[in-house]
Structure 1
Amino acid sequence: MATTLTGGNPHIIQLPTTPAGAALDPRAIAQRWLTNLETQLSQPVTVDLTGLFHTESWWRDMLALDWELHTVRTAADIQTFLRQHQSQAQLSALRLQDKGQFQPRHEQVVDGLSWVSTMFFFETAVGRGTGMLRLTQEEDGAPWKAYAVYTSLQELRGDEEPLGKRRPEGTTESMPGGLAGGTWIERRLRQKEFLDTEPVTLVVGAGQAGLNMGARLQSLGVSCLIIDKNERVGDNWRNRYRTLVTHDPAEFTHMAYLPFPKNWPQFTPKDKLGDWFEAYASIMELNVWLQTSVVSAEYDDATAKWTVVVARGDGSRRTLRPRHVVWCTGHSGEARIPTFPGQQTFQGTVYHGSQHRDASEADVRGKKVVVVGTGNSGHDIAQNFYEHGADVTMLQRSGTYVLTAEKGVFMMHEGLHEDGGPPTEEADIASESLPWPIQLALSVHLTRRIAAAEKDTLDGLRRVGFRLDFGPDGAGIARAYFTRGGGYYIDVGCSQLIIDGKIGVKHSPRGITQFGPRELHLADGSTLPADIVVLATGYDNMRTTVRKVLGDRVADRCLDVWDLDAEGEVNAMWRPSGHPGFWFMGGNLALCRIYSKFLALQIKAIETGLSPRVR
């Protein structure tokens, strides 16, 4: 039942094969294994995993054993990892989930692979956590051993969030200082302006990353100021192109603590989402300064504090001294804008896709429009121009993965973030519980199922010369997103326009060589007439934005952001960035909801002295 590496990519694996028979008593199997693990954990220096883990197995840990995000592979390395950290972490009191979807069960995962899976709970020296367990057999009658274990710290003992039965009373008398400290609104006005204190954490950006981050920090009792350059919370969505709608469904895109109402549309128009963000900031009592930008930021290693000067909309400046800066300017926040020879002589219009608002802003009927790039925004912009009468051609350099919002997107969320599914908190744990190499390997099977369901669309695209790319292993959107941050299109109508010949496609692997006065010259020797060129060419690494705003001194200490590191975790995001007291936070709405918890816990642990390192 070996899990082997293939090719030169360490994150492309072969899934194990297992016997066809079903487990007769999943709970007894899981309980026996969990009891045996707890026995070994009680002897941290001599933990012996013989008989508990397959040689090729995995353990993904979110802060439970170490104040970091780790994926550890092979039984030998897992044993070493536990011996290094268990003495301090003290994982104990392991117990199985006893209700709901994630209690012990036997799952047929894909053809040839089944496992006993369960959610479980545990305690550590500092808090409480939740995990997931997957046990497999090598052959009928063989012992059940762990193929994948997940542990995630969910709360700190003594610093639990004020949720449910722990919610604050809310009366003036129950607030610190009682009536002498003022009413709720009087306190809020002082708190929001930080008239009496300095924020412990400065969050730059009030999009989904910054708002989730602020809500998580404040729930943990860590004071937080969010600044944003826009006029209103939510403008980071409102200011994008007119026809933009989220490509992920409602149950996947909730914000922390505050899910969308049950009558919320499946896919949210950008302005509606912007309004929700604005309401969320108010309801969650987040401290947001709008029309505010960073002028300078310097870090003092000796005091572990920042000195940040910000410029506010009224022309004033304020010097802040937070201990943490969380960079939430957007995983797709810094446009990648190429330039070409002859571009200055072009007599038409050229702009980046991030600057697109709506084709109706000018009379584009009959205009030759070339959209360079075939990702989500490229397709949406091409469709927008076509609908206003333009003659549109998409210029494609490399293949693009395509799935539809009608079928493929919902297949991706089956059994988890869907209407009638498990609670969001449990779905979040389950969805992140497998190491990324395993998730990508499983995505190969899912991508095949989606392709079969969407065969007509994919075949139609191939017929007209649109190049499809399912990734080096066929993992589709999962690999494209987590390694490239793009390279895919969630189809909301443009694919049929391409299939019907209403939007043209030109494939040019080596792209544009130069601009002419009214045309583009391509590397294959051909030309494309153009009145308008939209460069839907993607976005740069978040570290680029840091360098642009904060300068080389800060950026040089940061790691590059995104893609998977040697372990299989996302580089520098939601975890130490390389620069002490500086953190990157970004991703889609679901990832911001999920990982804001882990980043907030890391910051809280530093502030309470639980984490030994200043990062």
Structure 2
Amino acid sequence: MQTQSKLVEKYLNTMQSDQIMIIGPVIIGAGPSGLAVAACLKQRGIPSLIIEKESCIASLWKHKTYNRLHLHLPKKFCELPYIPFPPEYPIYPTKQQFINYLDAYAKHFSIEPLLGQEVQQAKFDTNTRCWCVRTNEYQFVSPWLIVASGENAEPVIPVIDGISKFTGRILHASTYKNGVAFKGSKVLVVGCGNSGMEISLDLCNNGAQASIVVRDKLHILPKQVIGKSTFALSMSLLKWFPVTVVDRFLLFCSRLVIGDTNRIGIGRPEIGPLQLKNSVGKTPVLDVGACAKIKSGEIKVVRGVRKFTDKGAEFLDGTVEEFESVILATGYKSNVKSWLRDPNFFSQNDANSEKSLPKSWKGKNRVYSVGFTRQGLLGAAMDAHKVADDIKRDWNSEAWNLHVESKPIFTSQSINHY
């Protein structure tokens, strides 16, 4: 393997005028995953540069989430490395509290992403053995590339027959804030995951007539069991029992707390919630009150949409109903495959497929990923430590302490003066 000094010398001899050499990893994405790995690298004495296409950190949380959102898991499972949540925060912090935590986290570690930089291509150069990352303004070159843009980079807009004919209002959940503007109107929510259920509840609480499309079977679990988080209880039990046993226990508790969901038109999958999560990545819904509204008839469960009409929708069971608005709670997808030129790390299949995820947190040629394990913020924190440890070993073995006259760029401030 060539030494770092030889690599840099080889690179500088061929460097183009619009390229900026980064002596440290380039991180794509300034969400929780990007912040976490930048902090872990900094704790190990390694500089990095975060590139973010939006105008702020944590843009998904700040601009594309509804107002009533709380963390669905207890705060101890959502902390980023080294910094706990403030002790005065509740067990399930609000959206704004989490945003405040992320802002304080970035400030504590002096993390200053370069904003407004949308990645167009990231490609490994076999000659210089560096990653070339081209954005709308610059081209960055670094020995390491860390993909931290997340599984939720772009909203999924489903193709449903006749949807273009619908004359009412259509919006994705990413633009929904609260149900105030929908008071007194009939709203169809397409998608029955955590967001779809919570938006339906919010609509109902604000006086809208909400219907939710439940096309497939799904697991709904109580948010808490015997005063303890269902997730925390699951993690504790998995230390002692196999997944199948824990699944049976969760389903027993769910039946006691929520009741038989088949009676409200929501069937359960044949395999348990944890098994389903592990096998295909489908997260169970944690009930925050929607089930009670469904039981009372305040939220209506409807079958899958066959097609839209100009005033409403026709469902798979043949019924037709009129609606004034449609909210697509149909989730998000990664956009990595559109710019990362490495088909062996992220599959080039559909972004919603489990096969589109990286095979692990590390690929060939010093490419890494953080936050793609379908384990939420806890998984992102674990990935961040693994990636930083691996790069630290690489950093030490290659003797990266260099004095390069070309003035390598480390922060957004220095790049703006470049």
Normalised-by-shorter TM-score class: 0.7 to 0.9
- Give the secondary-structure state (helix, strand or coil) at the position aligned to 1:514: strand
Counting only pairs closer than 5 Å after superposition, residues 439-458 of structure 1 correspond to structure 2 as 442-458=242-258
The within-5 A match list for 1:39-438 is 198-239=22-63, 240-311=65-136, 317-360=137-180, 362=181, 364-407=182-225, 410-414=229-233
2:320 to 527, 530, 536: 527
| Per-residue deviation, 1:307 | 2.0
**Is this contact kept in 1: 2:188–2:323, CA < 8 A?**
yes
One-letter amino acid of the structure 1 residue matched with residue 107 of structure 2 = S
Note the C-alpha offset of 1:564. 7.8
Whichever residue aligns with residue 201 of structure 1, its letter is: P
Whether 2:380 is the aligned partner of 1:592: answer yes
Counterpart CA distance in 2 for 1:273 and 1:301 is: 41
- State the Cα distance separating 1:404 from its structure 2 match: 1.6
CA distance in 1, matches of 2:218, 2:156: 18
TM-score, length basis structure 1 = 0.56
Could you say which residue in structure 2 is the equivalent of 1:491? Answer: 287
Q: 1:546 aligns with which of 331, 336, 360?
A: 336
2-side partners of 1:465 and 1:278: how far apart? 42
3-state DSSP of counterpart to 2:154: coil
Q: Secondary structure of the residue that 1:533 maps to in structure 2?
A: strand
Give the equivalent residue in structure 1 for 2:8.
Answer: none
Partner of 2:264: 464
Q: C-alpha distance in 2, partners of 1:527/1:457?
A: 33
Give the CA deviation at 1:204.
1.3
Alignment TM-score, normalising by the size of structure 2: 0.80
Does residue 558 in structure 1 map to residue 354 in structure 2?
Answer: no
Distance of aligned partners of 1:602 and 1:564 in 2 relative to their CA distance in 1, 3 Å threshold = farther
Q: Give the one of 387, 393, 406 matched to 1:605.
A: 393
CA distance in 2, matches of 1:379, 1:482: 22
CA contact (8 A) 1:345 1:517 kept: yes
More strand by share: 1
Tell me which residue corresponds to 2:12: none
Note if contact 1:365-1:389 (Cα within 8 Å) is conserved in structure 2.
Answer: yes
Whole-Å Cα distance in 1 between the matches of residues 149 and 278 of structure 2? 18
Displacement of 1:233 in angstroms is 2.4
CA RMSD of aligned residues (A): 3.0
* Partner SS for 2:133: strand
Q: State the identity %.
A: 24
Match of 1:515 in 2: 308
- After superposition, give the CA deviation of every residue in 1:434-482 in whole Å (9 maximum; x if it has no partner): 8xxxx9x72332232233333244325332222233x52x2x1x33433
Aligned match of 2:278: 482
Q: Which moved more, 1:274-283 or 1:595-604?
A: 595-604
SS at match of 1:326: strand
CA displacement 1:505-562 (0-9 Å, x = unmatched): 12x3xx322211112122332223222112222333x3xx0233x16x4457633689
- Unmatched runs of 5 consecutive residues or more in structure 2: 1-19, 399-418
Question: How far apart, in 1, do the equivalents of 2:259 and 2:189 lie?
Answer: 22
Q: State whether residues 35 and 106 of structure 2, in contact with CA within 8 Å, keep that contact through their aligned partners in structure 1.
A: yes
1:393 positional shift: 0.8
Per-residue deviation at 1:248? Answer: 0.5
- Counterparts of 1:307 and 1:298, CA distance in 2: 5
Letter in 2 for 1:322: S
8 Å CA contact retained: 1:334, 1:539: yes
Gap runs ≥5 in structure 1: 1-195, 312-316, 418-429, 611-615
**Is the CA contact (8 Å cut-off) linking 1:234 and 1:276 kept in structure 2?**
no
Query: How many Å separate the matches in 1 of 2:187 and 2:288?
Result: 20
**Amino acid in structure 2 at the alignment position of 1:413:** A
- Residues 1:395 and 1:452: Cα distance change in structure 2 (over 3 Å): same
Counterpart for residue 361 of structure 2:
575
Higher relative contact order (CA 8 A, sep 6+): 2
Change (3 A) 1:286 1:326: same
